[in-house]
């Protein structure tokens, strides 16, 4: 386990994979927030106004966290957000499945006829959550954007 | 301690940036909260009536409603509710002229594949935007109709 956490190439690949997924997932939602709000409404948990608030902010947060994770700007905080989001999405999908809702995920595309929720989607999310948790325990994130900027004196290190 | 404080600082920064970015983008592109269609979206969603299989069957037998299949045309061709017409969600624009000939008070029952799938709701909202006043969603959809051996058509 320790060798995985210290393998900077592997960690970089995980960062690019997870960050890339979140960037791709955000694009369709950013382009059409109303369709994303409709997808949120289908889960029958929040009302139209809150759905629209979520549809306005969440895609931008996904995009920023994805970019930040890949660029290594705030890698640990981004990984934490991404993990929280994935846990939240997984709870929502599980709850929808348990209530017998046959709805599309709204995860990567807002086309209602593709990407229906199911247990495969939950497994995918669990896999991504594991990658997110892995990134939380990393000591050295390898290549990061912050390496190219002069560090402030007494600035807290990214290492725990 | 410093690390925790820095993490909280970074988290707040990300949330603030996402909020500003999200609202700025939707403001510039006139979408979401800043869309002129937004009030219709909220109101229509709140007013959209979902009907059960029993109600859908009753309305089918009374021949008082027009059934609309919101799925892709290839799914429609495999099988659909008897007498239903196909308006795939993404192709509504190609049906606008035809829809203009339908009386606005005509009862329209929209369905898609299964219980509460998105496309039926979204198509119903679009039909309400087109001023149709009596739009309902049959949330059991094609799967429930077929499972109960009710009349179907195939092409």
Residues of chain A under the 70 pLDDT cut: 1-2, 102, 110-116, 150-160
Domain count, chain B: 2
Alpha helix ranges (H) inside A72-118: 75-98
The answer to whether residue A80 sits within a structural domain is yes
Considering only CA atoms, which of B126, B138, B72 is closest in space to residue A114? Answer: B72
Q: What angle do CA A8, A11, A17 make, to 5 degrees?
A: 140
What is the span of the domain harbouring residue B90?
40-153
Residues B71 and B18 occupy one common structural domain? no
**Residue of chain B with shortest Cα separation from A56:** B22
pLDDT at B1 over 60: no
Residues B28 and B89 occupy one common structural domain? no
Strand order in the sheet with B65-69: B49-51, B135-138, B107-111, B65-69, B85-86
Residues B51 and B100 occupy one common structural domain? yes
B chain contacts of residue A115, beta-carbon cutoff 8 Å: none
What phi and psi values does residue B120 have, to the nearest 5 degrees?
-65, -40
The answer to whether residue A58 sits within a structural domain is yes
Q: Which of A112, A115, A154 to mutate to test the interface with B (most CBs of B within 10 A)?
A: A112
Average pLDDT, chain B: 84
pLDDT per residue over B21-43, tens digit each?
Answer: 999 999 998 888 887 654 445 54
In 3-state terms, what secondary structure has residue B49?
strand
Considering only CA atoms, which of B8, B13, B25, B35 is closest in space to residue A60? Answer: B25
Residues B26 and B79 occupy one common structural domain? no
CA distance B144 to B41: 27
**pLDDT for residue B140:** 82
Give the nearest partner residue to B45 out of A41, A56, A60, using CB atoms. A41
Q: Which residue has the higher pLDDT, B89 or B59?
A: B59
Band (B94; pLDDT cuts 50, 70, 90): confident
Residues B29 and B57 occupy one common structural domain? no
Among B18-22, B30-34, B75-79, B110-114, the range of highest mean pLDDT: B18-22
Q: Which residue has the higher pLDDT, A1 or B147?
A: B147
The answer to whether residue A156 sits within a structural domain is no
Domain count, chain A: 1
Residues B15 and B86 occupy one common structural domain? no
The answer to whether residue A155 sits within a structural domain is no
What is the span of the domain harbouring residue A73?
2-139
**pLDDT for residue B131:** 87
B chain contacts of residue A98, beta-carbon cutoff 8 Å: none
CATH of the domain at B47: 3.40.250.10
ipTM greater than 0.85: no
**pLDDT for residue B80:** 94
């Amino acid at each position: 386990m320790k060798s995985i956490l210290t393998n900077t190439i592997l960690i970089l690949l995980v960062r690019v994979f997870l960050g890339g997924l979140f960037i791709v997932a955000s694009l369709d939602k950013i382009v059409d927030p109303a369709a994303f709000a409709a997808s949120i409404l289908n889960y029958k948990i929040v009302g139209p106004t809150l759905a629209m608030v979520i549809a306005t902010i969440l895609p931008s947060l996904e995009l920023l966290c994805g970019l930040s994770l890949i660029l290594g700007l705030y890698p640990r905080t981004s990984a934490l957000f991404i993990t929280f989001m994935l846990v939240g999405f997984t709870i929502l999908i599980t709850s929808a499945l348990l209530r017998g809702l046959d709805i599309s995920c709204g995860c990567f595309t807002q086309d209602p006829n593709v990407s229906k929720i199911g247990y495969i989607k939950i497994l995918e999310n669990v896999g991504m959550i594991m990658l997110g948790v892995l990134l939380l325990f990393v000591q050295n994130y390898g290549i990061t954007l912050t390496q190219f900027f002069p560090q402030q004196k007494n600035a807290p290190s990214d290492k725990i | 301690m410093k690390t925790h404080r820095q993490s909280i600082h970074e988290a707040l920064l990300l949330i603030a940036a996402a909020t500003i970015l999200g609202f700025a983008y939707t403001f510039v592109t006139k979408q979401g909260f800043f869309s002129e269609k937004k009030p219709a979206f909220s109101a229509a969603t709140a007013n959209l009536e979902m009907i059960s299989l029993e109600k859908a069957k009753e309305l089918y037998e009374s021949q008082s409603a027009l059934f609309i299949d919101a799925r892709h045309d290839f799914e429609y061709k495999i099988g659909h509710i008897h007498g239903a017409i196909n308006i795939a969600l993404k192709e509504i624009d190609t049906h606008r002229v035809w829809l203009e000939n339908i009386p606005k008070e005509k009862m329209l029952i929209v369905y898609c594949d299964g219980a509460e799938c998105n496309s039926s709701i979204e198509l119903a909202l679009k039909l309400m935007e087109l001023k149709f006043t009596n739009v309902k969603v049959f949330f059991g959809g094609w799967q429930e109709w077929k499972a109960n051996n009710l009349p179907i058509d195939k092409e």
